[in-house]
Amino acid sequence: MPPFDMVDLVRAKRDGLELSAEQIAWLVANYTAGVVADEQMAALAMAIFFQGMSPDELAALTSGMVASGEALDLSGLSRPTVDKHSTGGVGDKVSLVLAPLMAYFGAAVPQLSGRGLGHTGGTLDKLEAIPGWRSQLSTSELLDQLETVGCAICAAGAALAPADRKLYALRDVTGTVESIPLIASSIMSKKIAEGTSALVLDVKVGSGAFMDRRERAVELAHAMVGIGHRAGIKVSALLTAMDVPLGRAVGNAVEVAEAVAALEGHGPPDLVEVTVALAQVMLELAGLEGDPRLALGTGAAMPTWRAMVAAQGGDPDAPLPGPRLTEVVPAARTGVVVRLEARAVGTAAWRLGAGRARKEDDVSPSAGVICLAKPGDYVEKGQPVMELRTDEPLRLGRAREALHGALEVTEGDAPTAVPAPLVLERVG
């Protein structure tokens, strides 16, 4: 590969020029190796933030990040492979329900997940509330579990797309996290490296999502779908609403309990609706058939959930950890709940100990918020509308501050307006 001058590449992108595939491959390889300095890559990231990237550049950047490490080979599995990725929200425990559900229908779901940061929760943090459950699997353990159980939810290995891990840390401290090309290539490099043949993207839109504007979410969805198609993966994206927490539980153990309830056939309607919508697209892309709503309603995927938890060292029958302290938030007036701010609830759960401000922070498995009332519910003044759970009493004050004005009640009876749709549109 011919050498390039990094300063020239930064200038070119700064001025709106398109970088070649060879230039991008060189810079990713040399940044990963430490030849390209952080300050130079930071300058390029900022140039990308303002100038964007073409589809060819996006494909080259993603390929470079995939090539920076190892890739999983799932071709030896007897099951068709399909995965799902969410851009993150509040109360988003869909993966916990969806992975065993798809495995029940005959798919292999290699769900390589992450941890929470800020107001959005992490799938691994939630599952670690289960006594004994472990997130680290070797490649042989992962392949065996995918073949026998049909699904695994685990941490990505350090060798998977290391360039993305290094670039993400740089973006976090340089104000370039919001760059759509950098978000798209980051997500897709890990999903391509994990070796799945099909992928469904759950792009969250709203106050509790990373993307609060629909047009930005659509742009991100198109970018990711385009990258996937170029890499030979069947990809489709659903835009789903995230103005209100999904389900009623926000935290770690509380979300596991709600996911189990959904798998047993009595999950909250909004969680079931989003899960079913994603499952239908996953079945389509994987070439499988089935009725996800019926399977959830009858508890058909529950044995698969139990097998997945047990295979990763967890005890599916063990009691989930409870908090040392609970406190209820009363309704300020009588009427109908018309708004429940997702970001505020997520922030409150984080402040109660369910989330982390820095990647190295610990989280409490028992902390969180239970939304006892949601939009459309009628409440009496003084009736509990939220339950706060924590192990540390000093955390309650800041959680209450986060929830100030988060729930709005209007006088009157049941609302006449049609509830806002949860699934907004499909891309790809």
93 tagged catalytic: no
381 tagged catalytic: no
Q: Which of 119, 126, 166, 190 is catalytic?
A: 190
Query: In whole angstroms, what is the distance from residue 17 CA to residue 9 CA?
Result: 9
Query: In whole angstroms, what is the distance from residue 308 CA to residue 290 CA?
Result: 20
95 tagged catalytic: no
What pLDDT is attached to residue 1? Answer: 57
What pLDDT is attached to residue 158? Answer: 84
- Residues constituting the chain: 428
What pLDDT is attached to residue 2? Answer: 64
**Mean local confidence (pLDDT), 59-84:** 96
By the 10 Å C-beta count (0-12 exposed, 13-18 middle, 19+ buried), 75 is classed as exposed
The answer to whether the beta carbons of residues 416 and 338 sit under 8 Å apart is no
Query: In whole angstroms, what is the distance from residue 194 CA to residue 229 CA?
Result: 16
With bands split at pLDDT 50, 70 and 90, how would you rate the model's confidence at 427?
very high
**Mean local confidence (pLDDT), 70-83:** 96
For the segment 235-246, what is each residue's pLDDT rounded down to a tens digit?
999 999 999 999
- In the chain, what are the domain boundaries? 6-52, 83-311, 325-410
Q: Which of 83, 92, 125, 164 is catalytic?
A: 164
The answer to whether the beta carbons of residues 395 and 327 sit under 8 Å apart is no
The structure's pTM equals 0.95
Listed residue (35, 36, 61) closest to 48, CA to CA: 61
What pLDDT is attached to residue 357? Answer: 73
Position 420 pLDDT exceeds 60: yes
243 tagged catalytic: no
Single-letter code of the amino acid located at 25? A
Q: Which of 186, 189, 207, 236 is catalytic?
A: 186
For the chain, helix (H) and strand (E) counts, in that order, are 16, 13
What pLDDT is attached to residue 414? Answer: 58
Let me know if domain 6-52 sits in CATH 1.20.970.10: yes
266 tagged catalytic: no
What are the φ/ψ torsions at residue 323 (nearest 5 degrees)? -80, 160
What pLDDT is attached to residue 391? Answer: 96
Query: In whole angstroms, what is the distance from residue 275 CA to residue 245 CA?
Result: 14
Helix %, strand %, coil % of the chain (to 5): 45, 15, 40
Listed residue (173, 139, 172, 183) closest to 158, CA to CA: 139
What pLDDT is attached to residue 97? Answer: 98
Q: Which of 165, 171, 191, 343 is catalytic?
A: 171
Report the top-level CATH class of 83-311.
alpha beta
Q: Among positive and negative, which fits the CA dihedral 81, 82, 88, 90?
A: negative
With bands split at pLDDT 50, 70 and 90, how would you rate the model's confidence at 114?
confident
pLDDT-above-70 percentage for the chain:
97
**What does pLDDT average to over the chain?**
94
For the segment 87-98, what is each residue's pLDDT rounded down to a tens digit?
999 999 999 999
The answer to whether the beta carbons of residues 396 and 366 sit under 8 Å apart is no
Position 417 pLDDT exceeds 80: no
Let me know if domain 325-410 sits in CATH 3.90.1170.30: yes
Q: Which of 85, 119, 191, 230 is catalytic?
A: 85
**Mean local confidence (pLDDT), 8-20:** 97
What pLDDT is attached to residue 76? Answer: 96
The answer to whether the beta carbons of residues 74 and 68 sit under 8 Å apart is no
**Stretch among 74-78, 169-173, 202-206 having the lowest mean pLDDT:** 169-173
